[in-house]
Amino acid sequence: MTNHWIDLKNSDCILIMGSNAAENHPISFKYVTQAMQNGAKLISVDPRFTRTSARADFYTALRSGTDIAFLGGMINYILKNNLYNKEYTAAYTNAPFIVGKSYGFKDGLFSGYTKGKPEAGPSLGGYDKSQWAFEMDENKVPMMDRSLENERCVFQLLKKHYSRYTPDMVSKITGTSEADLINVYKTFAETGAKGKAGTIMYAMGWTQHTVGTQIIRTMAIVQLLLGNMGIAGGGVNALRGESNVQGSTDHCLLWHIWPGYLKTPSASKDSLSVYNASATPKSYDSLSANWWQNYPKYSVSLLKSFFGEQATQANDFGYNWLPKVDDGKAYSWFDLFDKMFDEKIKGFFAWGQNPACSGSNAGKIRKALEKLEWMVNVNLFDNETGSFWQGPGVDPTKVKTEVFMLPASVSVEKEGSITNSGRWMQWRYQGPKPMGDSRPDGDIILELGHKIKELYHKDGVLAEPILNLKWDYDTNGAYDPHKVAKEINGYFLKDITIKDKLYKKGTLVPSFAFLQADGSTSSGNWLYCNSYTEKGNMSARRSDKDAVNNIGLYPEFAWCWPVNRRIIYNRASVDPKGQPWDKDQWVIKFEGEQKDGKWVSNKWTGDVPDGGWYPLENPDGSKREDSKYPFIMRKHGHGQIFGPGRADGPFPEHYEPLECPVEKNFLNPQRVNPTAVVYSSSEDSHATCDPRFPFVGTTYRVSEHWQTGLMTRPQPWLMELQPQMFVEMSEELAKLKGIKNGERVKVTSARASVECTAVVTKRFKPFNIGGNLVHQVGVPWHFGWRWPSTGAEESANLLTPPAGDPNTRIPETKAFMVNVIKL
Amino acid sequence: MNLNRREFIQVSGATAAGLAVSTLGFDLKPVKSHAQMLKTKYAKETTTICCYCAVGCGAIVHTSKRGDGRVINIEGDPDHVINRGALCSKGASIKQLTENENRLTRPMYRAPYSTKWEEVSWDWALEKIAERVKKTRDDGFEKTNSKGQVVNRTTSIASVGSAAMDNEECWIYQALLRSLGLVYIEHQARI
């Protein structure tokens, strides 16, 4: 989330689309409700009428997988009716940037396309993104036209691109009526007025598509046009699903990034200096903060946390001890299980995760587990992954895989921090001791590390990284979360004087502005530098005193990254003179002194400003040269309406899901995303416009279960509330198939079939898609054969397809094709 | 009067003992205040953050100071600024997640082609795992790739998980995996 949960109350219009907050993030509704009591409008857009819809001022449905068409229509509506915030768009976004002449869009393809399988992995094709570059002036600064009139400027190209997204066209694709579309567009676009705030609450309903990243980009464009980024009650807010999925992402348990969103080095970066140079963007615009110019400080400090004193200038701080990926190749979830299925992976850790139920096309994952030599499964409960060898249809006597299953402790039995969706790091304490012989994950990891180190003390291939890994995180023989939390924050490793102040060796670094690239500081994650300082553990704070602006920031309750800034990009919440667009619910405000129409002292108040530079303009309107543009993480300092870094195009374009109910895309000749990731092993089948699978299928969650259900299915209360796998369908479809409410049916896809109880409901209605009647059904993905013990409830992910987004490689589990058959 | 929850309970506890009814300005039902006192008197009180979704709701855990030392009750934390005491159906069941007879409480092992789990000791399990890691890593270690570039990695071992771990656990886990040379490192955020 760019904002945070409590901040939802400051909104004037909340769009909930791609999530079902009332059921899946129930407590968020405390603040949605508060906003509504203050006059905010709530809009719910979902293929199914949910409990969120039941609370909304306005609900409408769309067919799964057509969100870009829906939102592209909103961009068109905003531009056609001049409802965008002109001052904000011209000053803070890249709308004025001039795009180079090699950029083009024709027949559903952007310039630079090559069909086929790029080296990265199975994909339908790829782009040469250099063709989408901006025009630069002689000083290598992007050329701009702040009047937004130049025909090659982003704004004009945007207008042209989305002029095709007429209500008539959008309605044909989404199945939403034109009147409903206009109603949503009009209501949300009203937040383009200064002092008004609109927000979006989305979740996996947007990410799990072959166009997932671009759906979110479409909304980000809407938010930039309306001036909704950086303000209270605005932003782009992903409702993350696991208690610490934000933290585990920040610390980068992901193949492509190192802690703090640093890049995993590839083979061609054969030294630290080459790596740093390639990862550090260069801006020649003195008004661009280009924050990532600090990259080497963060990467070197990270290496110092990895290897401690063993990391020296002479050995490149241990850079080459760490693994490199091949350039341009992907090692994502899909690729991992593809390689495992191909018997290339021999050992496997499933640590606090249940891929046998959570991965798309889970049948392939289950088969892949049989090909392993060994597996370690760490969890609270036995699960479908750990016990795959005795799962449905598996003969244990034919499965060679050796399995170690280790009992982990529940969160209340240990101490440490987690980070919520609003980036708040919060400390938890130990209540009871671990049950039985279970152990906190931290103790298991630490002990395993000690045991591996012992073996490498004797001998081993390239033992240096293992032996040199700093691993002193015990206190009295047990894992000590405080020691790790301090390492993540970082230390001064020698006495350093910064701005006339001496910082002693061995003390904690106050914030990432103090980190150094010469090895004199450590920090396990620069984003968390400031979380555990000489003032103490910031994440354990509990003050309910609000900040001076009284908008629910609670700056001394827990801690939030970066540097306790509660709303990021908040310098876009003020005008170029530093004064808030919204005088009532302001985030920050410039209160420096002025003399003769010029600012003469620097003072911000409110939230921690996104960089404390002077405002862009003086009170008399003259420009300042010591200021910076507000979008400091972007190389050029501007919010990206044109996104030339994306794999599938600088502007979002509607493409159908890999499996869809229409023969052609009504908007362009490309039916599916021409860069979609599609796998094709013997276990990876898909079928589109296939009469065997005539209905659109989607997956979702219920309040009473969580993810694959592993932490809820073994519980009697929750199982009583939601005991069975079910499929929701419209009354019309039930009639067509002769299915009655409560009957057991079979849902089939090109991959598998799963038994479900039919829930016949008014919550689904058939769609009119270009004149054809299209039915949609939905299944929850919380079940699996291990719990309940009947073994009759199975995972919806046996049905879901082997395809994903080209930017993130997140699977397309929200739109696929199925059939429903009466048993 | 501006009291947080703990101060309120202290005062209401005193009320039950017959003191300072007027401190709160109203009389509490004796039974209710007695119940609250029981919970705090014989239990250790700790705060936690819900382990389910990422709203980050606060909860209070009461752990018995006597007997088995297990959880007596877990409820929403009224002093937590996000949830102000409220919890959803899952959050309200954290006690049942913790005190659950279906939990794994011993390390288990399943040998190749075996049809059953066997209980094993932690030492045995972690030693064997360390041996497997070392053998698989060293057998398939790639110092260079097909282009001859230095890569120092193993693609024979993979890891998934976990968004269910604490930040500090995530950090040391990724450090261990990367020091071993793993590149197939993924978790819930990808899916």
Q: How would you write B14-48 as a 3-class SS string?
A: HHHCCCCHHHCCCCCCHHHHHHHHHHHHCEEEEEE
Q: Under an 8 A CB cutoff, do B157 and A346 touch?
A: yes
Q: CA distances (Å), B169 to each of A45, A377, B173, in order?
A: 38, 16, 6
Residue that has been written with the tokens 């094993």 in this structure: B120
- Name the residue among A431, A473, A721 with its Cβ closest to that of B46: A431
Q: What percent of chain A has pLDDT over 90?
A: 98
pLDDT of residue B133: 98
Find out whether B28 and A687 touch, Cβ atoms under 8 Å. Answer: no
* Residue B41: band (very low, low, confident or very high) from pLDDT cuts 50, 70, 90: confident
Q: Quick: pLDDT tens for A332-388.
A: 999 999 999 999 999 999 999 999 999 999 999 999 999 999 999 999 999 999 999
Q: Is there a single domain that holds both residue A812 and residue A688?
A: yes
Q: Is residue A436 part of a domain?
A: yes
Which tokens in the block code for residue A703?
């309040």
DSSP label at residue A398: G
Alpha-carbon distance of A430 to A453, in angstroms, equals 29
The answer to the question of residue A327 being in a domain is: no
Residues 6+ apart with CB under 8 A from A50: A20, A22, A23, A44, A763
Neighbour-count burial of A692, counting CB atoms closer than 10 A to its CB (0-12 exposed, 13-18 middle, 19+ buried):
exposed
**Exposed e or buried b per residue across A414-432, where buried means at least 16 C-beta atoms within 10 angstroms of its C-beta:** bbbbbbbbbbbbbbbbbbb
In this structure, chain B runs to a length of 191
- Interface residue B79 vs chain A (CB under 8 A): yes
Whether A717 has its CB under 8 Å from any CB of chain B: the answer is yes
CATH number of the domain located at residue range(s) B44-98 in this protein: 3.30.200.210
Q: Is the dihedral of CA A400, A360, B53, A559 positive or negative?
A: positive
Q: Please tell me if residue A418 touches chain B, with a CB cutoff of 8 Å.
A: yes
**A292 within a domain of the structure (yes/no):** yes
Instruction: Phi first, then psi: give them for residue A449, nearest 5 degrees.
Output: -60, -45
Question: What is the radius of gyration, based on Cα positions, of chain B?
Answer: 25
pLDDT band at B37 (very low <50, low <70, confident <90, very high): low
- Structure letter (DSSP) for residue A497: E
**Both ends of chain B: CA-CA distance in Å?**
49
Q: Which of B109, B124, B160 to mutate against chain A (most A CBs within 10 Å)?
A: B160
Q: From residue A330, how far is each of A221, A256, A420, A612, B182 by CA, in Å?
A: 28, 8, 28, 38, 14
Q: Answer yes or no: do A751 and A791 share one domain.
A: yes
Mean pLDDT on A387-392: 98
Is any Cβ of chain A less than 8 angstroms from the Cβ of B113? Answer: yes
Q: Which structural domain range is residue A351 located in?
A: 333-419+424-478
Q: Looking at the complex, report in whole angstroms how far the Cα of residue A702 sits from the nearest Cα belonging to chain B.
A: 10
Quick check: A379 and B104 CB within 8 A? yes
Q: Of A418, A435, A716, which has the smallest distance from its Cβ to B105's Cβ?
A: A435
Q: How far apart are CA A83 and CA A159, in angstroms?
A: 13
Q: Per the CB < 8 Å rule, is B105 touching A417? A: no
User: How far is it, in rounded angstroms, from Cα B75 to Cα A629?
Assistant: 45
Dist. CA A31–CA B163, nearest whole Å? 25
pLDDT at B39: 58
A807 located within any domain: yes
Q: Is the pLDDT of residue B21 over 60?
A: no
Q: What integer is the mean pLDDT of A27-47?
A: 98
Region A286-308 average pLDDT:
98
Contact: B190, A440; criterion CB under 8 Å: no
The bridge status of strand A374-379 relative to strand A347-351 is parallel
- Residue A101, classified by CB atoms within 10 Å of its CB into exposed (0-12), middle (13-18) or buried (19+), is exposed
Across the interface, which of B129, B143, B157 has its CB nearest the CB of A448? B129
Same domain, A759 and A817: yes
The share of chain B scoring above pLDDT 90, in percent, equals: 77
Specify whether A682 is located in the same domain as A796. yes
| Strand ranges, E, within chain B | 43-49, 58-64, 71-76, 108-110, 118-119, 141-144, 150-160, 182-186
The answer on A359 and A440 residing in a single domain is yes
For residue B36, pLDDT over 70 is answered with no
User: Quick one: average pLDDT of A264-271?
Assistant: 98
The answer to whether residue A727 sits within a structural domain is yes
Do the chains contact at A410 and B74, CB–CB below 8 Å? no
Among A326, A416, A432, the residue with its CB nearest the CB of B71 is: A432
Q: In which band, very low, low, confident or very high, does the pLDDT at A119 lie, cut at 50, 70 and 90?
A: low
Using CB atoms and an 8 Å cut-off, which of residues 12-41 of chain B contact chain A? none
Q: Provide the 3-class DSSP secondary structure of residue A401.
A: coil
What value does the mean pLDDT take over residues A669-677?
Answer: 96
pLDDT value at residue B145: 97
A498 neighbors A297 (Cβ within 8 angstroms): no
The residue among A761, A822, A817, A804 whose CA lies nearest residue A122 is A804
In this structure, what token pair is assigned to residue A1? 């989330």
CA gap A112, A98 in Å, rounded: 18
Q: Is pLDDT above 80 for A798?
A: yes
pLDDT at B26 over 70: no
CB A570 within 8 A of CB A609: yes
| Residue A122: band (very low, low, confident or very high) from pLDDT cuts 50, 70, 90 | confident
Q: Where are the domains of chain B?
A: 44-98, 108-190
Cβ of residue A343 closer than 8 Å to a chain B Cβ? no
Matching residue, tokens 């030693």: B127
Structural contact between residues B48 and A417, judged by C-beta atoms closer than 8 angstroms: no
Q: Running DSSP on this structure, what letter comes out for residue A716? A: H
Give me the helices (H) in A93-228, please. Answer: 154-162, 167-174, 178-189, 204-207, 212-225
Q: 0.90 cut: is pTM over it?
A: yes
Distance separating alpha carbons of residues A414 and A416, to the nearest angstrom: 7
Q: Cα torsion for B141, B145, B151, B157, to the nearest 10°?
A: -40
Report residue A233 as tokens: 């009650």
For chain A, state the CA radius of gyration: 27
Is A391 in the same domain as A306? no
- Write the CA distances from A450 to A306, A479, A487, A578, B54, integer angstroms: 15, 11, 18, 53, 32
CB-CB contact of A770 with A666 (8 Å): yes
Write the single-letter amino acid at A605: T
Q: How many CA atoms lie within 13 A of B33 on its CB side?
A: 19
Give the helix ranges, DSSP H, for A316-440: 333-341, 355-358, 362-369
pLDDT band at B12; cut points 50, 70, 90? very low
Compute the distance between CA of residue A242 and CA of residue A421 in angstroms, rounded to an integer.
9
pLDDT at A118: 55
Interchain pair B49, A340: CB under 8 A: no
Q: What is the DSSP string of A770-788?
A: TTEEE-EEEEE---BTTBS
State CA A230 to chain mean position distance: 18
Q: How far apart are CA B81 and CA A557, in angstroms?
A: 8
From start to end of A234-328, where are the E strands? 236-238, 257-258, 262-263
The reply to whether residue B162 touches residue A407, judged by beta carbons under 8 angstroms, is no
Nearest to B186 among A255, A440, A466 (CB): A255
* Residue A606: closest CA among A580, A639, A575: A580
Q: What is the pLDDT of residue A121?
A: 64
**What percentage of chain A reaches a pLDDT higher than 70?**
99
Kindly state whether residue A756 falls inside one of the protein's structural domains.
yes
ipTM above 0.95, yes or no: yes
B66 touches chain A (CB under 8 A): no
Interstrand relation of A478-479 and A125-127 (parallel, antiparallel or unpaired): unpaired
Distance of CA A775 to the CA centre of its chain: 30
- Three-state DSSP class for B141? strand
Alpha carbon of A274: minimum distance to chain B alpha carbons (Å): 14
- Asked if the structure places residue A731 within a domain, the reply is yes
Chain A residue with the nearest C-alpha to that of B178 = A322
Please indicate, yes or no, whether residues A290 and A340 belong to a single structural domain of this protein.
no
**Residue B42: which pLDDT band, with cuts at 50, 70 and 90?**
confident
| Cα(A760)–Cα(A33) distance, integer angstroms | 29
Give the number of beta-carbon pairs within 8 Å between A and B.
482
Domain assignment present for residue A287? The answer is: yes
When pLDDT is cut at 50, 70 and 90, the band that residue A117 belongs to is low
Work out the mean pLDDT of chain A and round it to a whole number: 97
* CATH number reported for the structural domain that contains residue A809 in this entry: 2.40.40.20
Flag whether residue A339 sits within 8 Å of chain B, measured between CB atoms.
yes
Going by their DSSP bridges, the two strands A198-202 and A13-17 should be labelled as parallel
Per-residue pLDDT band at A124 (split at 50, 70, 90): confident
Q: How many domains does chain A have?
A: 3
Interface mutation vs chain B, best among A365, A423, A445, A453, most B CBs within 10 Å: A445
Position B142: which residue type? E
